[in-house]
Amino acid sequence: MSIFTVASRYAKSLLDLAEEQGQLDAVKKDIEGVISILKSNTELLAILKNPIISGDKKRNILTAIFEGKINPVILSFFYILVNKGRAAILLDIAQEFVREYNEAKGVVKASVTSAVALSDANLKELQKIITEEINAVVVLKNVIDTSLIGGFIVRVGDRQIDASIAGKLNKLDKHFAAQGV
């Protein structure tokens, strides 16, 4: 079974449990914090992925880091993952939980890449346009890429709109190359 399939099943279980206990939003917020900690701490990830380190040590480490800081349901869930030998994919499960939560709530993540930071007014207007276009709640993030020269690239799910100067120059270059110019 693929890691994605396993992560998805565990994430769905946590989602169902949190929803059943009426703590879905709180659990999601805590899981986002866990993701942030796991991504910023490579040693912790290495410990969780190391099959030589005992489950007891992994549980003790998770307890020391997260006890009293996250919902007890999540910590109990982490203990189950360790007992089942799934600690290595804890980050994957947490990320899949957030993805499934967003899907269940109709939230879509989008990004706009631009050469310079967009103003709050521009971001809100773009977010409004995307929301109306796809009929979903949109969380929009601005990414800065100075190689674009100007313009922007909008990504929503697996769709992309490239309105950057670099993108237009690249298309023009390909067109001329195809024409043999």
- What is the per-residue pLDDT across 17-35, written as a single tens digit (0 to 9) for each? 999 999 999 999 999 999 9
Pick the range with the lowest mean pLDDT from 7-16, 63-72, 99-108.
Answer: 99-108
Residue 129 in this model has a pLDDT that exceeds 80: yes
Q: What is the pLDDT of residue 80?
A: 95
More confident residue, 52 or 178: 52
CA distances from 25 to 4, 9, 28, 30, 90 (A): 23, 19, 5, 9, 19
Q: What is the pLDDT of residue 181?
A: 65
Pick the range with the lowest mean pLDDT from 59-73, 88-102, 110-124, 158-172.
Answer: 158-172
Residue 168 in this model has a pLDDT that exceeds 80: no
Please state, for a pLDDT cut of 90, what percent of the chain lies above it.
56
Residue 1 in this model has a pLDDT that exceeds 70: no
| Two structure tokens written together for 99 | 């993805």
Domains in the chain: boundaries: 3-103, 107-179
Residue 167 in this model has a pLDDT that exceeds 80: no
Hey, which CATH number is domain 3-103, 3.50.50.60, 1.10.3720.10, 1.20.140.10, 1.10.520.20?
1.10.520.20
* Secondary structure class of 121 (helix, strand, coil): helix
Contact status, residue 11 vs residue 93, Cβ threshold 8 Å? yes
Contact status, residue 95 vs residue 3, Cβ threshold 8 Å? no
pTM for the full predicted model: 0.71
* Secondary structure class of 117 (helix, strand, coil): coil
Q: How many CB atoms lie within 10 A of CB 79?
A: 16
Angle between helical axes of 42-49 and 90-105 (0-180°, round to 10): 110
Q: Give 160's pLDDT tier (boundaries 50, 70, 90).
A: confident
